[in-house]
Amino acid sequence: MKIKPSEGNKTFCMAPWSHTYLSPQSERRMCCASREKADWATQYLDSEDADKGSTYNPGTLDDHWNSEYMKGIRKDLMAGKEIPQCQVCNHQLLNVSIYRDYFNKTLFPNKIDEAFAKTRDDGHTEMQPISFDYRIKNLCNFKCRMCGDQLSSSWESERRMMGDYDREENTDFWAKKENKPAIDKFQKEVAEAELWKAVKNGTIEEIYWVGGEPLMWEIHWEVMQYLIDNDLAKNVWIRYNTNFSRTTYKHWDLRTMLPHFKMVQICASIDGTGDIVEYVRHGIKWKSWIQNFKDFRFLNDKYGSYGIAFDLTITTPGLFSLKDMFDLAVELDVHTLIKTTFAFDSSIMMCPQVLPRNLYEEVIDDILEYIRPKAEKFPKHSNWIECLEDLKQRQVFSEQYPDWREGLKRGKENLTRIDKWRRNENVLNEIYLKHNKKVYNWWNNKQVI
């Protein structure tokens, strides 16, 4: 059975017909937001752990694209079934704006009929991937507290120095020293070659540069230059999720390269302003970051109002910077893409739902009271209200996890350990004390909430 979106199919997504994703650990999946059982290395959205003791045996894109697994996904999506891999979109787990809409409504709405026409009843498709999200490596100069080693080499180096990978209970198979050379070899010889093939044969229509930090990768600059030199850039959408700590590399300058492309969107990752963001996004220098952002606002004139936007992740300490972030978005007249820190257990201290219900609502209500009158005047910023109201309705940890007390204890111990290692052991206390005495007392167990 095949049901098109125009006929009422609510779960269909163009990603499995157009898009290919590869993690820095060589895990393939439908997209960065899909929750899939990992063969080798989990990522933060995985619904299940990788098999214990699994061995590194990555497949090629050709192996994967029309595999029984992918054919089954396409067959289910064409039938309008709700599949567990798409929970993030189906249940809006990260934000109210869903990734499915990007593929269906923004990027490839004109290819939906083609997808149905060129796909057999068993899910085999004649279409080939034309949108690439290849995270070639985890190279990154930041250690954001809601991130981790799989997407940051700085996190990985720190964990090695702290001896985390040497523990018996460690299940980060990808990080074992004997496995790293094999991963590096595959990513270099297979993954990069697959990306280059799509670039050089002129079939690629979109590249999502995200890492790690893609502006630190030489292949990023080489691919971009090749597309420009061979008059292909005019056919390609370029999208970034970048920490925006740099905009040049060797002789290349991003500012002069981007205007060659058909469409550009920079999602500049940020979590707050000033001392709060410098705590959460370890490695950032706020003044230089905001100057980089301002220097690229010309993209909004050329490519529309999403040429460059704040890509805001709401964290627990970051709650107390949201008023400033909102005012800055209004001042600069830029959109804000908003998501919340994802939690898979109650030890994730950067997830706002770690707060007890009464404090959680009090803090969010205070932010809403501040921004609502302003947001209602500017439609561009109305999503702030929608996202915060959605956040307020989410379950806090004490409502969601039976073992939430143990999780909080474990999470706090881990965060305290990291803060001590980074010589930031008093910063979070200072942030909470400065902005909300009740949250400070809760964090320090000075009162029962």
Could you tell me which of 86, 123, 131, 129 has the C-alpha nearest to residue 106?
131
Could you tell me which of 21, 44, 36 has the C-alpha nearest to residue 83?
36
Question: What's the DSSP call for residue 86?
Answer: G
Tens digits of residue pLDDT in 171-226: 788 888 888 999 999 999 999 999 999 999 999 999 999 999 999 999 999 999 99
Query: Among residues of the chain, what percentage have pLDDT more than 90?
Result: 88
What span, in angstroms and rounded, lies between the C-alpha atoms of 369 and 378? Answer: 16
What span, in angstroms and rounded, lies between the C-alpha atoms of 172 and 42? Answer: 9
pLDDT of residue 234: 98
pLDDT of residue 50: 53
Once rounded to an integer, what is the mean pLDDT over residues 78-105? 92
pLDDT of residue 174: 87
Once rounded to an integer, what is the mean pLDDT over residues 71-93? 95
pLDDT of residue 41: 78
pLDDT of residue 437: 96
Query: Among residues of the chain, what percentage have pLDDT more than 70?
Result: 97
pLDDT of residue 39: 78
DSSP tally for the chain: helices H, then strands E? 21, 12
* pLDDT higher than threshold 90 for residue 56: no
- Quickly list DSSP for 2-41: ---GGGT-SS--SHHHHEEEE-TT--EES-TT-----SS-
Tens digits of residue pLDDT in 212-256: 999 999 999 999 999 999 999 999 999 999 999 999 999 999 999
What span, in angstroms and rounded, lies between the C-alpha atoms of 365 and 288? Answer: 32
Taking phi first (over 0 means left), then psi (-120 to 50 degrees means alpha), and beta for anything else, what does residue 304 get? Answer: left
Once rounded to an integer, what is the mean pLDDT over residues 86-97? 88
342, 93 Cβ separation under 8 angstroms: yes
Q: Are strands 252-253 and 248-249 parallel, antiparallel or unpaired?
A: antiparallel
pTM for the full predicted model: 0.94
Identify the helix (H) or strand (E) that includes residue 181.
helix 180-186
231, 259 Cβ separation under 8 angstroms: no
* Collapsed DSSP state (helix, strand, coil) of residue 121: coil
198, 129 Cβ separation under 8 angstroms: yes
Residue 339 phi/psi, 5-degree rounding, is -140, 165
pLDDT of residue 1: 87
Once rounded to an integer, what is the mean pLDDT over residues 146-168? 92
Tens digits of residue pLDDT in 370-413: 999 999 899 999 999 999 999 999 999 999 999 999 999 999 99
pLDDT of residue 267: 97
Confidence band for 45, pLDDT divided at 50, 70 and 90: confident
* Residue 322 token pair: 């949201």
pLDDT of residue 48: 58
Question: Distances from the Cα of 25 to the Cαs of 178, 214, 223, 354, in angstroms?
Answer: 14, 15, 21, 29
* Collapsed DSSP state (helix, strand, coil) of residue 319: helix
289, 244 Cβ separation under 8 angstroms: yes
* Residue 362 token pair: 């009090």
Beta bridge partners of 263: 237
HSE-CB of 92 using CA atoms within 13 angstroms: 11
What span, in angstroms and rounded, lies between the C-alpha atoms of 57 and 10? Answer: 35
CB atoms within 10 A of CB 41: 22
- Report how far apart the first and last C-alpha atoms of the chain are (Å, whole number): 53
Beta bridge partners of 241: 210, 267
* pLDDT higher than threshold 70 for residue 310: yes
Identify the helix (H) or strand (E) that includes residue 312.
strand 308-314
What span, in angstroms and rounded, lies between the C-alpha atoms of 333 and 186? Answer: 43
The larger pLDDT score, comparing residue 90 to residue 42, is at: 90
Could you tell me which of 302, 312, 344 has the C-alpha nearest to residue 44?
344
What span, in angstroms and rounded, lies between the C-alpha atoms of 241 and 144? Answer: 14
| Angle between the N-to-C axes of helices 357-375 and 383-393, in degrees from 0 to 180, rounded to the nearest 10 | 170
| Beta strands in 110-205, from DSSP E residues, in sequence order | 131-134, 143-144
Mean pLDDT of the chain: 94
